[in-house]
Amino acid sequence: MGERAVGVTPPRVMTVAGTDSGGGAGAAADLRAFAACGVHGCLAVCAVTAQNSVGVHVVHGVPPDVVAAQITAVVEDIGLDAVKTGMLGTAEVVEALVRTCDDAGIGGDGPVPLVVDPVLASMHGDALASTAAVESYRALLLPRATVTTPNLDEVRLLVGVDVRDRAGQHEAAKALHDLGARHVLVKGGHLAGDTEASVDVLYDGSTFTEFPGPRVDTENTHGGGDSFAAAITAGLARGLPVPEAVAFGKRYVVEAVRHSFALGAGYGPVSALWATRPWWEHPDG
Q: Which of 223, 235, 249, 269 binds ligand PXL (CB under 6 A)?
A: 223
CA angle 227, 232, 44 (to 5 degrees): 65
Asked if 113 is part of the footprint of ligand PXL (rule: CB under 6 A), the reply reads no
Nearer to ligand PXL, 124 or 164 (CB): 124
Q: Which of 11, 26, 64, 107 binds ligand PXL (CB under 6 A)?
A: 26
C-alpha separations of 37 from 28, 230, 251, 282 in Å: 14, 9, 11, 19
Nearer to ligand PXL, 177 or 257 (CB): 257
Binding segment toward ligand PXL, per CB under 6 A, in 6-14, 18-26, 168-176, 268-276: 18-26
Binding to ligand PXL in span 70-89, by CB under 6 A? 86-87
Mapped to the 3 state alphabet, what secondary structure does 157-211 carry?
HHHCCCCCCHHHHHHHHHHHHHCCCCEEEECCCCCCCCCCEEEEEEECCCCEEEE
Asked if 107 is part of the footprint of ligand PXL (rule: CB under 6 A), the reply reads no
Residue 8 CB, nearest distance to ligand PXL (Å)? 31
Asked if 119 is part of the footprint of ligand PXL (rule: CB under 6 A), the reply reads yes
Residue 133 CB, nearest distance to ligand PXL (Å)? 13
Q: Which of 122, 136, 146, 233 binds ligand PXL (CB under 6 A)?
A: 122
Q: Are 78 and 110 in contact (CB under 8 A)?
A: no
Among the listed residues 183, 189, 137, the one whose alpha carbon sits nearest the alpha carbon of residue 163: 189
- Strand ordering across the sheet containing 208-214: 56-61, 40-51, 12-20, 82-85, 114-116, 147-148, 183-186, 197-203, 208-214
Q: What 3-state DSSP class applies to 275?
A: helix
Binding segment toward ligand PXL, per CB under 6 A, in 13-21, 36-44, 180-188, 242-250: 13-21
Binding site for ligand PXL (CB under 6 A): 17-20, 25-26, 49, 51, 86-87, 119, 122, 128, 223, 225-226
